[in-house]
Structure formats: C-alpha cells, structure tokens
C-alpha cells in the first residue's frame, strides 16, 4: 500500500493473480489494472510462464519509503490481506 502514489500495471507476458483490497482476479497479457492510493494489494505469478509487466507510478511522491507492508497470514481461505500496518516511517529495528 502507498500513501502518496497509485500504480497502474500493464501485463506484457504471462498471467498475474492480483488481490486489490478484498477483490482477487487474473490479469493476462495485454490487460491492465489500477491500484488506487491507500489500497492494499498483492501480486502473484499465475501459471508456468513468469509474467512480465510495466508499472506506472502516478503520484506526488515515488520513494520506496512510502510503502506500507502488511504481514502475510495464510489461513483456510488461502489469503489474508494482513493483520497490521505500520507507517513507512516506523522503526523496524526490533523485528
């Protein structure tokens, strides 16, 4: 998730499984999807061919320290979007 930028992904090869918020769907070659500001997302390869994509990042700040990472928790339903959020400025030294 990013606070200051969105992402637009264009698949040029293969198929990707995208989780955007609580919605999960496939994006195939020559298709695209948009990830709005402040939206949790996950991107996975789906299939035998490794996907390739172009990522466009529109926003007011493009630094990697804008990224908020969520803990991955896999349960009986297969995917959880995370159980905790830390702002990009959080201190990770005690992890």
Q: Tell me how far apart the alpha carbons of residues 71 and 49 are, in angstroms, rounded to a whole number.
A: 27
pTM of the model: 0.68
Residue 30 lies inside a defined structural domain of this protein? yes
Based on the structure, what is the number of domains in the chain?
1
Residue 92 lies inside a defined structural domain of this protein? no
Residue 89 lies inside a defined structural domain of this protein? no
Residue 51 lies inside a defined structural domain of this protein? yes
Q: How many CA atoms lie within 13 A of 80 on its CB side?
A: 10
Residue 88 lies inside a defined structural domain of this protein? no
Task: Find out whether 32 and 10 touch, Cβ atoms under 8 Å.
Answer: yes
In which residue are the tokens 């493009």 written?
62
Burial of 62 (0-12, 13-18, 19+ CB in 10 A): exposed
Residue 38 lies inside a defined structural domain of this protein? yes
Residue 79 lies inside a defined structural domain of this protein? no
Per-residue confidence of the chain (95 residues) as pLDDT tens digits? 778 888 999 999 999 999 998 999 999 999 999 999 888 888 888 889 999 999 998 878 777 777 777 655 544 444 444 333 333 333 334 43
Range of the domain at 18: 7-62
CATH number at residue 29: 2.60.120.10
């Amino acid at each position: 998730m990013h606070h200051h930028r969105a992402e637009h992904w264009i698949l040029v090869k293969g198929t990707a499984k995208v989780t955007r918020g609580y919605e999960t769907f496939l994006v195939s070659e020559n298709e695209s999807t948009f990830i709005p500001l402040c939206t949790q997302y996950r991107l996975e390869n789906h299939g035998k061919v490794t996907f390739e994509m172009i990522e466009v990042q529109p926003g007011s700040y493009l630094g990697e320290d804008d990224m908020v990472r969520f803990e991955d928790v896999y349960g009986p339903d297969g995917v959880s979007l995370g159980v905790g959020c830390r702002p990009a400025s959080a201190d990770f030294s005690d992890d």
